[in-house]
A and B are shown apart, each in its own frame.
Chain A
Amino acid sequence: MGLGMSGKPSGLIEDEYLAFFQFVYAIYKKAERNAEGYQDRYFIIGERPVRLRFVGKGLISSLTPALAHLEIPPTDDPQLTVLLWDSVSSGTPISAVLSRYFDCLGEWWIHLGTRGEIKELTNDRIQTAYHLGPNIFSIIDLQENLALYWVKDAQALPYYEIGSPLRTILHWWAERGGYQFVHGGAIGLQTGGVLLAGKGGSGKSTTALACLEAGLLYASDDYCIVKTVPEPFVSSVYNTAKLRSDHDLDRFPHLAPLISNKSRLENEKAVLFLYRHFPDKVSRGFPLKAILLPLITNLKETRLRPATAGTILTALAPSTLFQLPGAGGAAIKAMSTLVHRVPGYVLELGTDVSEIPVPIIGLLSGG
């Protein structure tokens, strides 16, 4: 890639985007050969089969628990294949050229978009992102539905990637297929459920876990995939629950023994893989009947009040857009369509957590 008049890297010519993808693919193939094979696992994500091909032993145990409720038998017709490897467990260092390029991304203000997009390596077909910190590289060829995911050492993956893996790749792929990855929780009944929208700390996890305790199905506390055609539907992506503080553990003390990262709670939020413990209560998805905006109040009673579509969109769209590399006009349009199709409510959260599900059950039961 060359330097533009500003001194910043200019974009590639059309063929070079694909050539870059193929370059990374060749690096992956080398790792595959060195590791003497791969292991395939299949999942149904956003209603479509996805194949995850793991090279090395490092990533498979870290990235599959969050998706365990979506695992399916092998299929000949996956709609997306993601090739995953880490250099340490595959025994294959990434190429020196790519390694140096990733080092350059330390100057993120030049190379990366606000959400981790590698600006000079992204076009309509090839999308790339680099998640600084854990240094996760993601690239997808949207024409071939083939993605690559690399991290240097799987053992260094942060807990949030283990709890919600492959967000960037799944977002890119979902959007191109007419689905939308959203920042929101989802709970409900098999006949229909609600999306819980709002930024972090608004009460999505507390609401989702309170509803799980009350017997509702759990699809998500943070991220899911929605579609509006032919009818609004929400698909679970991760069976993860995150407890953010000791206060959360006080609310749900019986969940404490189920925490998967107990030894690291000084530096990490508590992560639970609910499918391990409540397999009958974790849902792959359900028709979407309403969108709720949790709002913490000091009232004892939890109650619902109608919200305008604009209020719902204002809560749902920014927190989704700001987290997903490359999300833009198509994503906000998809969310706008969604808020047109289903009613919205503010969920005024009462202080009695056990009562939070009551108005939600009433809403879903037609009460």
Chain B
Amino acid sequence: MEMLGYFNIKRPDVVHETVDGETVIVNLENGIYYSLRGSGVDVWNLIETGANLDELTSMMVDRYNGSPEEIQKAIAELLVVLQKEGLLQVSSTKRTVSQTPQPLSSGEKMKFDPPLLEKFSDMQELLLLDPIHEVDEEGWPHKAEGDGAGNVRQA
């Protein structure tokens, strides 16, 4: 996995919203969705600023209690997973963004808990169906019972 570049969310295929300390991420291309919690919410929102690993680490160290090594290791592991899931793309140049990282409102650092990413694939098959041969009478996207005989969409 690429760790040297600047990270960006893979738009427009990936959409997301953060509510009350939880980020819901939806991959519209393959039907998988995720719940990101803990410090992962901050990492995700900092990725929106187009940061690289060192910048992400620096910003997270400013926000959380914990050794820089521990925090960077957790971020790097999350970045690997997010890339494997096809949610991020990496570029060699930093893009211009209007967003700037938000400082901690209280000014006090928080306890660092590793990011928690939960993956849901229960609706994935609905988007990967062959819409002609595999849907039931309820239509696309509703899977027919039994084995489908048609093609599977390339994710």
| 8 Å CB interface, A114-158 against B | 114-116, 131-134, 158
For the side of the interface on B, what is the size category?
35 or more
Which of A115, A159, A328 is the one whose CB lies under 8 Å from B137?
A159
For the side of the interface on A, what is the size category?
35 or more
Q: Which residues of the other chain, B, contact A199 by a CB distance below 8 angstroms?
A: 122-123
Complex CA gap A133/B122 in Å reads: 23
Contact A109:B132 (CB < 8 A) given known A308-B20, A310-B22, A321-B26: no
Using CB atoms, name the residue of chain A closest to B127: A114
B27-35, B45-53, B76-84: which lies at the A interface?
Answer: B27-35
Complex CA gap A260/B17 in Å reads: 40
Q: Which residues of the other chain, B, contact A360 by a CB distance below 8 angstroms?
A: none
Which interface residue of B28, B122, B126, B135 has the most chain A CB atoms within 10 A? B28
A177 within 8 A of B: no
Q: Is B31 touching A133 in the complex (CB atoms < 8 A)?
A: no
Complex CA gap A250/B80 in Å reads: 50
| 8 Å CB interface, B1-37 against A | 11-12, 15-24, 26, 28-31, 33, 35, 37
A322 within 8 A of B: yes
Complex CA gap A114/B17 in Å reads: 21
B140 within 8 A of A: yes
Q: Is A133 touching B139 in the complex (CB atoms < 8 A)?
A: yes
Contact indicator per residue, chain A 86-118, by CB within 8 Å of chain B (1) or not (0): 000000000000000000001011001011100
Q: Which residues of the other chain, A, contact B21 by a CB distance below 8 angstroms?
A: 310
Q: Is A310 touching B153 in the complex (CB atoms < 8 A)?
A: no
Contact A106:B137 (CB < 8 A) given known A309-B19, A313-B24, A332-B15: no
B131 within 8 A of A: yes
Complex CA gap A115/B12 in Å reads: 14
| 8 Å CB interface, A327-361 against B | 327-329, 331-333, 335-336, 339-340
Q: Is B22 touching A309 in the complex (CB atoms < 8 A)?
A: yes
B154 within 8 A of A: yes
| 8 Å CB interface, A212-256 against B | none
Q: Is A318 touching B137 in the complex (CB atoms < 8 A)?
A: no
Complex CA gap A205/B31 in Å reads: 23
Q: Which 7 residue pairs across A and B have the least CB separation, nearest first?
A: A310-B22, A336-B17, A309-B19, A132-B131, A318-B33, A114-B127, A309-B20
